[in-house]
Amino acid sequence: MPAQEFNLTMVEPVHPFGPVGNGSIQGHSVRMDNNHVVSKSGEKGLIALWNTTLTADAVGASKQYLTAIDQQVDKFGTTLGSADRKFVQELARAINNRSVVHKPGSTARPQGWDPFVQVFVWIPGNLFIGPMARVDAPKGDAFDTSARFIIAADQYSKLQNADTLIRKYLTDSRKPQYAEDAYADLAFVARTYLARAPFDANQWTWDSGRNLPKIKGA
């Protein structure tokens, strides 16, 4: 049976989690958000990684990551219903076995595409819940180095390495090993860390000069 052809280019999706509300840091009420450690950016982050593998015909590099998503999506604590989670699993498998492939210029999307992209871009192991506005927030699509004070050491190390490899791959997409190794690190995080790091006010302090919070130690 011939492969089904679709447009598999990603654009930034909304996150698949419930609202995180507000928190309090040293008496200041702050609006919370889901903070990425490795950027989701279409320029230097997860979306750019995926779209570049499409352009370079190297989608196979994502096999470990898609397998981890297939295996763990039911444990990620998203607001996706069971039908959407099943679509995510089926599409991850279909892309891995190449029964679904990218066709440049196509306008058709495969069934379950939106929830698939949501999970791909917002795996909980790459997220921590914290203030939306921060003194120490990364610039643009930079890696969030302050996360080392929030998340586990091995989790941080894998994400940092993935970020470095993504940037190398985006500089030279003729070397798909960079992409494959980045996806392997992301797969480890997706399999091992099934929840977003929760907000803990004790990990934060208030910068009175900037009138914004920051992570302690950052």
| Separation of alpha carbons 160 and 171, rounded Å | 17
Report strand pairing: 4-6 vs 100-102: parallel
pLDDT at 53 over 80: yes
pLDDT at 139 over 90: yes
* Residue 2 token pair: 């011939």
* Residue 86 token pair: 């099943």
Convert the pLDDT of each residue in 86-137 to its tens digit: 999 999 999 999 999 999 999 999 999 999 999 999 999 999 999 999 999 9
Judge contact between 186 and 126, C-beta under 8 A.
yes
| Separation of alpha carbons 59 and 42, rounded Å | 16
Q: Residue 210 — pLDDT band, cuts 50, 70, 90? A: very high
pLDDT at 206 over 90: yes
Among 4, 208, 8, 215, residue whose Cα is nearest residue 109 = 8
Using a cut of 0.95, tell me whether the model's pTM lies above it.
Answer: yes
pLDDT at res. 98: 97
pLDDT at res. 183: 98
pLDDT at res. 14: 97
Helix intervals (H) in 122-214: 153-171, 176-192
Three-state DSSP state, 106: coil
Q: What's the mean pLDDT in 48-52? A: 98
Angle at 14 between CA 130 and CA 200, to 5 degrees: 15
DSSP category for residue 197:
B
End-to-end CA distance of the chain: 54
Exposure of 173 in the CB half-sphere (CA atoms within 13 A): 14
Q: What's the mean pLDDT in 54-69? A: 97
Residue 19's φ and ψ, nearest 5 degrees, are -65, 145
Convert the pLDDT of each residue in 157-202 to its tens digit: 999 999 999 999 999 999 999 999 999 999 999 999 999 999 999 9
Beta strands in the chain (DSSP E): 4-6, 22-25, 28-36, 100-102, 127-131, 204-207, 212-215
The rounded mean pLDDT for the chain is: 97
Three-state DSSP state, 212: strand
Q: At what angle do helices 82-96 and 63-72 cross, to 10 degrees?
A: 160
pLDDT at res. 1: 77
pLDDT at res. 168: 98
pLDDT at 147 over 90: yes
